[in-house]
């Protein structure tokens, strides 16, 4: 568990390319992250997912549901968006993956004829959008979206935009580091911390519940 804190990391990148992300992930490995993470959560940045495959090929992907919802809604008329947003919410707020799949299919059937670009945007990442169902239910609120880290970035972005062009590279790097360190103080603790060692040990979960076979083995 102590490795979690030690393996936090940030570095400057010129763009969200596979090379920039690969350098960050490779540096994490060199500093002790020897075991591949069980799950990575992110938006549609292709560079990140490509680099992840290269550095940690066994890590599962969870696409941020909030980012995906915004992407899908951008393909829909504003008059349709409120109802579509509610229909999307039915997918990732379902109690089980089976129910989520049914809600997913209902969305596709409802909107595909008129708004095929929206449904294509959603369906292409189906597996990655629903990966969280294979993890403890207590963790779902933490891993369905990239919001926890996005809130930290918002603080950093607010400050760096105001000082753009006024500071050196080294000064900006130090400032960002201190802002992130300060933001950590307000991070909420992981719900279901008792489940985390099970995830690390490879215990299987179905619809957020530890499987019967693993219970029996324990």
- pLDDT tens for the chain, 218 residues long, are 333 444 566 676 667 788 888 988 998 888 888 889 999 999 888 899 999 999 999 999 999 999 999 999 999 999 999 999 999 999 999 999 999 999 999 999 999 999 999 999 999 999 999 999 999 999 999 999 987 676 667 677 766 666 666 677 778 778 877 877 777 777 778 899 999 999 989 999 999 999 975 444 44
Q: How does DSSP assign 19-42, residue by residue? A: HHHHHHHHHHHHTT--SPPSEEEE
Contacts of 133 (CB under 8 A, 6+ apart): 96, 97, 100, 140, 206, 207, 208
| pLDDT score at 216 | 47
Rounded Cα gap, residues 17 and 45, in angstroms? 8
Going from the C-alpha of 149 to that of each of 24, 61, 170, 183, 187, the distances in angstroms are 16, 16, 23, 10, 9
Q: What are phi and psi of 193, to 5 degrees?
A: -60, -25
| pLDDT score at 56 | 94
């Amino acid at each position: 568990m102590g490795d979690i804190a030690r393996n936090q990391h940030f570095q400057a990148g010129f763009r969200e390319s596979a090379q920039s992300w690969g350098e960050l992930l490779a540096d994490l490995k060199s500093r002790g992250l020897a075991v591949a993470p069980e799950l990575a959560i992110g938006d549609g940045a292709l560079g990140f997912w490509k680099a992840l495959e290269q550095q940690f090929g066994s890590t599962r992907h969870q696409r941020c549901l909030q980012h995906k919802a915004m992407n899908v809604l951008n393909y829909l008329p504003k008059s349709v968006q409120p109802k579509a947003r509610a229909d999307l919410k039915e997918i990732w707020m379902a109690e089980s993956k089976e129910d989520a799949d049914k809600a997913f299919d209902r969305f596709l059937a409802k909107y595909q004829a008129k708004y095929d670009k929206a449904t294509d945007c959603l369906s292409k990442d189906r597996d990655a959008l629903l990966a969280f169902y294979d993890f403890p239910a207590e963790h779902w609120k933490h891993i369905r979206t990239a919001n926890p880290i996005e809130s930290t970035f918002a603080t950093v972005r607010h400050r760096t935009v105001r000082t753009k062009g006024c500071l050196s590279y080294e000064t900006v790097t130090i400032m960002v580091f201190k802002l992130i360190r300060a933001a950590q103080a307000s991070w909420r603790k992981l719900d279901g911390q008792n489940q985390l060692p099970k995830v690390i040990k490879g215990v299987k979960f179905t619809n957020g519940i530890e499987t019967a076979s693993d219970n029996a083995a324990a």
